[in-house]
């Protein structure tokens, strides 16, 4: 089956784990896949799929619009090559409508509703709603979401029926680099966060938490990996408190896995806002697949539906300091190694990409209508 995935995401981005994993999975299922995205020609030569480069603006806020405009210019010439198309919601409803008019079945991919704030967010929500309306109107055949909560939200907001939605959660691959955690008595607790360093993700607030924990006698430090609109603030804090914070900047996926293996606890600082409560956080699985324990804000986007886990500690934002101090003080070096092993085992058994890839492939092949 010849399919095309039109995505705004660059595959060399450290957040591109999901499209990479799903693309490899579709190829393994026998699909003939073409990726259209803003990567330059030649950047996908090492991958098994075909690639078409479409440029976009470098200005934040104009990237999706410019990418969509440039995609529309080539659709009529390439559409006859494909039996189906996956389109990210950010690419826009006009691309979906053109493909449908060219008799190409379209499937909408939503890995996250708009996460920005302010004017940019209001513009993104308009695109999001119009893109999802193509599913409601039957222009797009199906929509993919990341969690049951995400599916419920789309149903409530837009009236889309559940049989037009499929949940494709973020998966993970067990980190072969890491071994079960070991922590000596004189070693600090090593926390780590990787992802966007944006203001609304609770990054700076957790840095304050680390400072307070040290004041309460818990020797700990935090490594931050990524880039975003609070990067300068993060760098400033690192200079003021060099023993507490380390800033690593952007890394590729293999570099991140290597860095994770040198830490004890992964951090999920994202607050209880709609976008995070609907999520299936990729970094949660990657922490566990590296054998890390996990701490984070307690909301539906961070919880597992099968209950509390001993290697995962969620807390209310105002209680962060006391709650995490109590958690780490309850764990000795022997128990840390045991919990690390259990976390990695859980990731291997329940958080792999296999189910998500099977769901995606099944919908594309029409298995859901049999």
CA 9 to chain CA centroid, Å, is: 12
What per-residue confidence (pLDDT) applies to 255?
87
What per-residue confidence (pLDDT) applies to 172?
84
> What's the pTM value of the predicted model, to 2 decimals?
0.81
What per-residue confidence (pLDDT) applies to 184?
84
Q: Flag residues of the chain having pLDDT under 50.
A: 367-370
pLDDT tens figures, 302-322:
988 777 899 999 998 888 999
Alpha carbons 77 and 99: distance in angstroms, whole number: 11
What per-residue confidence (pLDDT) applies to 369?
42
Domains 2-170+353-369 and 189-350 share a fold: yes
Q: Which helix (H) or strand (E) holds 193?
A: strand 189-194
Q: Match domain 2-170+353-369 to its CATH number in 3.30.950.10, 3.40.50.2000, 1.10.3720.10, 3.30.70.20.
A: 3.40.50.2000
Domain boundaries of the chain, sorted by first residue:
2-170+353-369, 189-350
State how far the alpha carbon of 316 is from the alpha carbons of 36, 147, 297, in Å. Answer: 41, 22, 6
What per-residue confidence (pLDDT) applies to 194?
93
Alpha carbons 224 and 236: distance in angstroms, whole number: 13
Fold exhibited by the domain 189-350 = Rossmann fold (3.40.50)
> Left if phi > 0, otherwise alpha if psi is -120 to 50, otherwise beta: which for 279?
beta
């Amino acid at each position: 089956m010849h399919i095309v995935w039109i995505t705004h995401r660059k595959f060399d981005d450290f957040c591109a784990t999901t499209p990479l994993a799903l693309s490899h999975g579709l190829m393994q299922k026998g699909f003939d896949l073409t990726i259209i995205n803003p990567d330059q020609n030649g950047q996908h030569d090492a991958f098994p799929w075909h690639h078409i480069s479409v440029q976009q603006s470098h200005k934040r806020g104009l990237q999706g619009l410019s990418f969509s405009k440039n995609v529309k210019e080539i659709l009529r010439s390439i559409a006859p090559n494909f039996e189906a198309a996956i389109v990210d919601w950010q690419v826009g409803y006009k691309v979906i409508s053109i493909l449908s008019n060219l008799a190409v079945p379209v499937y909408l991919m939503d890995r996250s509703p708009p996460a920005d704030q302010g004017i940019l967010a209001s513009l993104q929500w308009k695109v999001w709603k119009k893109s999802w309306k193509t599913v409601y109107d039957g222009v797009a055949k199906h929509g993919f979401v990341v969690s049951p909560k995400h599916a419920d939200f789309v149903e409530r907001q837009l009236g889309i029926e559940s049989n037009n939605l499929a949940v494709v959660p973020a998966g993970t691959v067990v980190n072969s680099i890491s071994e079960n955690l070991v922590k000596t008595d004189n070693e600090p607790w090593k926390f780590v966060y990787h992802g966007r360093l944006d203001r609304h993700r609770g990054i700076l607030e957790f840095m304050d938490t680390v400072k307070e924990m040290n004041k309460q006698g818990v020797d700990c430090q935090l490594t931050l990996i990524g880039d975003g609109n609070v990067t300068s603030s993060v760098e400033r804090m690192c200079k003021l408190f060099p023993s507490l914070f380390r800033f690593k900047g952007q890394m590729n996926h293999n570099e991140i896995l290597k860095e994770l293996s040198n830490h004890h606890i992964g951090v999920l600082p994202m607050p209880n806002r709609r976008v995070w409560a609907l999520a299936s956080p990729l970094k949660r699985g990657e922490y566990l697949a590296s054998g890390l324990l996990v701490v984070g804000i307690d909301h539906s986007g961070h919880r597992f539906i099968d209950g509390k886990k001993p290697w995962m500690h969620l807390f209310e934002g105002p209680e962060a300091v006391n709650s995490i101090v109590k958690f780490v003080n309850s764990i000795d070096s022997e128990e840390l190694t045991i919990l690390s092993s259990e976390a990695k085992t859980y990731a291997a058994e329940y958080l792999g990409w296999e189910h998500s890839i099977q769901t995606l492939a099944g919908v594309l092949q029409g298995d859901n209508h049999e």
